Structure 1
Amino acid sequence: MAPGGFFGRALVVDVRGTRATGTPLELDDRVLRSYLGGVGLGTWLMHRLAPPRVDPLAPAAPLAFVFSALVGTPLTTSAKFAVVAKSPLTGLLTDALASSQFAISGKLTGHDAIVVRGRAEELSVLLVDGGEVRLEPAPELAGLPAAEAETAVKERFGRGWRTAAIGPAGERGVRFATISHDGRHAGRGGLGAVLGGKNIKAVLVRAAARVRVADQAGVLAAARDLRERSFGPATAKYRELGTLANLLAFNAVSTLPTRNFTAATFEGAPALAAEELHELRGVARNSCASCSIGCEHIYSRKGGGSQRMEYENVFALGPLCGVSDPDDVFAASARCDELGIDTISAGGTVAWAMECAERGLIDEPWLRFGDGSALLRALDAIGAREPGLGELLAHGSRRAAEAVGQGSIAFAPQVKGLELPGYEPRTLQAMALGLAVNARGADHNRSGAYEADLSGALDRLEGGVAHVAAAVDTEDRAAVMDSMILCKFLRGVFEDPFPEWARLLGLVTGWDLDGGELRVAARRIVRAKRAFNLREGATAADDTLPARMLETPLELGSGRSAALTADRLRSMVAGYYVARGLDEDGRVDPADLADLLLEA
């Protein structure tokens, strides 16, 4: 019998032509306990099912929707799932987390993961009804935004289904296309393009099973306690203003990337700040499925309608592109949702193109920092893959810079091909290390080292040994939270996280866990991610930052500057390798490979 919270099997769906077949893949207790579910289990599945060096957009490349033991329990924020695949943007492992009823229904098909391979003959939808799968042609959905596709499939198949869909950008293979569901997005790394490469517009799931927990009374008591703590001061910022509260705070400490990382403060920040928008445009606050925090803040849009705004989409489509008009930023965010593209990669790629245009490296004189209409025009070109600029930018900033040449790779805002989030590495040097070494590329959710930088416990402008320890610790915590899966906004409510997480997981599964075992699992998951990337051709040379961050000091005003040298970053990376038990080239010790259970 599988442990509580799990079914002990994944469903591997092979799509060929007009048919789909599902085959169960047994997951034994050892694999589940070693990888926990979510991102961890998805990483193991990629090792097992992805052919080495497979093209991410090829039919043979697997895409996995992965659940965890906590999905379907009353624990707050547990209605989350991971989507894991090889990224068409980076060529390496990628994963994205999302919250919605799709997570609950997907798990209650009776599987801990649903893995899709192959390619349909024409644009289709895939239906998973318990252990039964079928493929239905859906050419009428071509070109629709994901939200409209969801509405259409509900009308066609009924309301008992939950849907994850792609927008037109995913159909067209834009390398940073998203997968959307209930207005939320599995956003980073181009997972929508992977699904589009299979000619699948949407995946529909319908619950057909019930999940057992080991200690029902204990889980209910823990859920009540966690819910009460979720209303405390650790989550107040998210409830009151949402993540957009970071904008003015980051601007004040010179860590708000502006105009393609040429500055770290933005004169237009107050107009985009949560404090201003809350007073003038605040409409509502909303929650993800099974969440008591309610971090989602909805704002009114010019001309009618509303838009959910968060720090990362405002940063990427606002300061990073020099755009300060809220209406332009709102419209750009809405356009990304309609097209189905990641706002961070979209903003970063367009910001790079704006700098190229201003330097005369590309012949697009209309594309200028601060021009909201130019931003929207560029987004439309990307979504349509228009010949010229649209086709160039649809591949992301790294590939675009490689095509343009002329030294433009030095200021392409990416690590391993993934565009940087809204954290300036030169003024947050623990975060700089986290961004450089992370398996997914430049990412703030798999390495929260910025918390250490901003805590005051270390000098954020002088990276060193303490910064290495902070990056390792936050990466370990993220690995566990992303695999259990719990929302990161809960992280502050746990006083002693690893033992507390072990207790929650033990109540659900029946495993006799302690915090030490979860720490070991975290390190295993991080090593397994790196092992996959090494298999796919990654090297230590990829663990770095754009040349701009390492060669150009950042002016802070009053004669002050912040600098992160290549030597300092290399020293921190070397320290990270030692802390992770890697060799000097960042490779996993062969003696550790058996612990990864890759042959299980």
Structure 2
Amino acid sequence: MTPGGYFGRALLVEVEGQVAHGSAIDLDQRVLRSYLGGVGLGTWLLHRLAPAGVDPLAPAAPLAFVFSPLVGTPLTTSAKFAVVAKSPLTGLLTDALASSRFAIAGKLTGHDAIVLRGRADVLSVVLVDGAAARLEPAPDLAGLPAAEAEARLRARFGRGWNTAAIGPAGERGVRYATLSHDGRHAGRGGLGAVLGAKNVKAVLVRAATRVAVADQTSVLAAARDLRDRSFGPATAKYRELGTLANLLAFNAVSTLPTRNFTAATFEGAPKLAAEELHELRGVARNSCASCSIGCEHIYSRKGGGRQRMEYENVFALGPLCGVSDPDDVFAASARCDELGIDTISAGGTIAWAMECVERGLLDAPWLRFGDGPALLRALDLIGTVEPGLGELLAQGSRRAAEVVGRGSIDFAPQVKGLELPGYEPRTLQSMALGLAVNARGADHNRSGAYEADLSGELDRLAGGAAHVAAAIGTEDRAAVMDSMILCKFLRGVFTEPFDEWAALLAAVTGWDVTGEELRDTARRIVRAKRAFNVREGATAADDRLPARLLDTPLALGSGRTATLTADRLQAMIAGYYAGRGLDEAGRVRPEDLPDLVLDG
């Protein structure tokens, strides 16, 4: 019997030439209970469907849209889905979460996941309606921003369809191209390039059925309770100012990466701060589908128009590149949306290039820190993959540094090829470990260890055993939230997270699941990610930070410095391996492989 919240099957869509064929993959309860959905189930599907060593941009490389048992319930923030693939930027597993009605409609096609493989002869769109999948040519969408493509597809097929689309960067193979829907983005790791390599501009889904829950009364009661808690103090920051509220706070504690991680405070931060922009530019607040928090803050742009701004895109296109003019940062963020590229990887790669120019390693004298128009020009070169500099930067900072050489890899702001988010590792040493060991690469959403650093309970400037435990704990909590799926902004409303999540899952599915079982599930998902990466060639040498961030003191002002030594980081990595039950090379031990349930 299929548990509540699930259909017990995934749809594999094979795109071949001018047609698409759909076939069902059975997902038994053992698999569903072991991986839940979202990122967890997507990891399991990649193990099963991605040939070992496959090129991420090859037709045989799968791209999975994965739903969760909570999608379609009234539980706040549950209208989310995961996109999972092998990353063209890192060559390893990548996943991204996004919120929109696409999640609800995709689940109600009657599947727990939709997986694409193959390649179309001409630029096309894939439509999934119940058990059927079909391919429709759409060459007229070539070169359009995702939002414009979505509008045309709604006019063509009707408003009953929900769309996930790529921009021109995805079509052109930019390795950090995004996949977008309703103005939101599955951004990191180049998922848009994976879809573009299949010559598919968009995937459209339409609800065709319903999904039952095991205990409707309990689900409704839980939804009311969770909604009430979502209005409390744990989410107040996101409602009032959004994630951009972090900018001044991080600047004050020397953890705002500036000018390609050469500093951790930015003199122009007040001009970009949420407090300033809210007063001068704030025009609206918005919510994702099925969300009661409303963290999205909309600002007016110079010359007209509106722009959604968050901490990560302001950090990456502002302080990291030395740009303090909010009009330039707003314009750069809008350009990334139009092109369909990840703001963090774009900003990190351009900041690296700006430093290369300063050092005489790149011949582009116009590309300088602090120059807003130069930032926009570089984004255009990337989005069009212009021969020369655009083509180089479209590869991401690691690959670009490998081309340029001359020690430039030492200051390329990346881990495993994924550019670092807006957290200075030398002043957040739990986070430093989380960034180094995470399966996706330098990532703040799958390893939110900065929470422990900023809690005041740890010495954030001196990593040790307590920091290891904090990194493992936050990674475990993220693994469950990203698989059930619930928004991370809700994390603070749970007093006993695993027990409370188990209660939600039990009401939906009918399982007698416990908090301890979910802890085991979290560990399984994290191990399965590592196992996939090891299969694809990852080694312990990949669990590291850029040379710039190790053994180089960071000035904090008043004569103080912060240093993360290579030896300290290595000791924490060894502690992480031991805490995860991995071997000394960071691999899943053979006796633990059966627990990953990869055989059924």
TM-score bracket, normalised by the shorter chain, equals over 0.9
Corresponding residue for 1:107?
Answer: 107
Secondary structure in 2 matching 1:125:
strand
Secondary structure in 1 matching 2:59:
coil
Secondary structure in 2 matching 1:56:
coil
Corresponding residue for 1:33?
Answer: 33
Listed as ranges, the matches of 1:371-450 within 5 Å are: 371-450=371-450
Q: For 1:37 and 1:129, how far apart are their aligned partners in 2?
A: 21
The farther-off stretch of 548-557 and 477-486 is: 548-557
Corresponding residue for 1:223?
Answer: 223
Corresponding residue for 2:496?
Answer: 496
Q: For 2:106 and 2:130, how far apart are their aligned partners in 1?
A: 9
1:523-553, CA deviations, whole angstroms, 9 ceiling, x for partnerless residues? 0000000000000000000000000000311
Contiguous gaps of at least 5 residues in structure 1 = none
Secondary structure in 2 matching 1:115:
strand
1:194-250, CA deviations, whole angstroms, 9 ceiling, x for partnerless residues? 000000000000000100000001000000000000000000000000000000000
Corresponding residue for 1:87?
Answer: 87
Secondary structure in 1 matching 2:454:
helix
Secondary structure in 1 matching 2:561:
strand
Number of residue pairs the alignment of both structures matches:
600
Q: For 2:552 and 2:22, how far apart are their aligned partners in 1?
A: 53
Residue 144 of structure 1, CA deviation = 0.0
1:49-101, CA deviations, whole angstroms, 9 ceiling, x for partnerless residues? 00000000000000000000000000000000000000000000000000000
- The reply to whether residue 260 of structure 1 matches residue 222 of structure 2 is no
- The reply to whether residue 139 of structure 1 matches residue 139 of structure 2 is yes
Corresponding residue for 2:592?
Answer: 592
Corresponding residue for 2:517?
Answer: 517
Residue 2 of structure 1, CA deviation = 1.1
Secondary structure in 2 matching 1:431:
helix
Q: One-letter code of the match for 1:466?
A: A
Q: For 1:563 and 1:555, how far apart are their aligned partners in 2?
A: 9
Q: For 2:597 and 2:247, how far apart are their aligned partners in 1?
A: 43
Corresponding residue for 2:469?
Answer: 469
Contiguous gaps of at least 5 residues in structure 2 = none
Secondary structure in 1 matching 2:550:
helix
- The reply to whether residue 296 of structure 1 matches residue 293 of structure 2 is no
Q: One-letter code of the match for 1:205?
A: V
Q: One-letter code of the match for 1:62?
A: P
Corresponding residue for 1:7?
Answer: 7
Corresponding residue for 2:277?
Answer: 277
Secondary structure in 2 matching 1:118:
strand
Q: One-letter code of the match for 1:527?
A: R
Q: For 2:70 and 2:575, how far apart are their aligned partners in 1?
A: 35
Corresponding residue for 2:508?
Answer: 508
Runs (4+) off by over 6 Å? none
Secondary structure in 2 matching 1:455:
coil
Listed as ranges, the matches of 1:176-325 within 5 Å are: 176-325=176-325
Q: For 1:158 and 1:178, how far apart are their aligned partners in 2?
A: 24
1:123-152, CA deviations, whole angstroms, 9 ceiling, x for partnerless residues? 000000111110000000000000000001
Residue 599 of structure 1, CA deviation = 1.0
Q: For 1:134 and 1:369, how far apart are their aligned partners in 2?
A: 48
Secondary structure in 1 matching 2:81:
strand
Listed as ranges, the matches of 1:110-125 within 5 Å are: 110-125=110-125
Instruction: Tell me the TM-score normalized by structure 2.
Output: 1.00
Q: For 1:557 and 1:221, how far apart are their aligned partners in 2?
A: 52
Q: One-letter code of the match for 1:383?
A: G
Q: For 2:558 and 2:158, how far apart are their aligned partners in 1?
A: 63
Corresponding residue for 1:558?
Answer: 558
Q: One-letter code of the match for 1:18?
A: Q
Question: What is the aligned-residue RMSD (CA, Å)?
Answer: 0.3
Corresponding residue for 2:62?
Answer: 62
Q: One-letter code of the match for 2:346?
A: A
Q: One-letter code of the match for 1:543?
A: D
- The reply to whether residue 340 of structure 1 matches residue 340 of structure 2 is yes
Secondary structure in 2 matching 1:551:
coil
Q: One-letter code of the match for 1:422?
A: G
1:245-274, CA deviations, whole angstroms, 9 ceiling, x for partnerless residues? 000000000000000000000000000000
Q: For 1:258 and 1:551, how far apart are their aligned partners in 2?
A: 18
Q: For 2:363 and 2:205, how far apart are their aligned partners in 1?
A: 46
Q: One-letter code of the match for 1:110?
A: G
Instruction: Tell me the TM-score normalized by structure 1.
Output: 1.00
Q: For 2:283 and 2:47, how far apart are their aligned partners in 1?
A: 45
Corresponding residue for 1:174?
Answer: 174
Q: For 1:13 and 1:572, how far apart are their aligned partners in 2?
A: 43
1:251-301, CA deviations, whole angstroms, 9 ceiling, x for partnerless residues? 000000000000000000000000000000000000000000000000000
Q: One-letter code of the match for 2:170?
A: G
1:26-69, CA deviations, whole angstroms, 9 ceiling, x for partnerless residues? 00000000001000000000000000000000000000000000
Q: One-letter code of the match for 1:247?
A: L
Q: For 2:216 and 2:413, how far apart are their aligned partners in 1?
A: 48
Q: For 2:546 and 2:65, how far apart are their aligned partners in 1?
A: 32
Q: For 1:154 and 1:38, how far apart are their aligned partners in 2?
A: 26
1:465-519, CA deviations, whole angstroms, 9 ceiling, x for partnerless residues? 0000000000000000000000000000000000000000000000001100000
Q: For 2:553 and 2:126, how far apart are their aligned partners in 1?
A: 51
Corresponding residue for 2:363?
Answer: 363
Q: For 2:112 and 2:56, how far apart are their aligned partners in 1?
A: 23
- The reply to whether residue 536 of structure 1 matches residue 560 of structure 2 is no
Corresponding residue for 2:571?
Answer: 571
Corresponding residue for 2:458?
Answer: 458
Q: For 2:428 and 2:158, how far apart are their aligned partners in 1?
A: 49
1:2-39, CA deviations, whole angstroms, 9 ceiling, x for partnerless residues? 10000000000000000000000000000000001000
Q: One-letter code of the match for 2:115?
A: V
Q: For 2:164 and 2:121, how far apart are their aligned partners in 1?
A: 20
Corresponding residue for 1:150?
Answer: 150
1:100-135, CA deviations, whole angstroms, 9 ceiling, x for partnerless residues? 000000000000000000000000000001111100
Q: One-letter code of the match for 2:560?
A: R
Q: One-letter code of the match for 2:380?
A: D
Q: For 1:329 and 1:2, how far apart are their aligned partners in 2?
A: 49
Residue 370 of structure 1, CA deviation = 0.2
Secondary structure in 1 matching 2:118:
strand
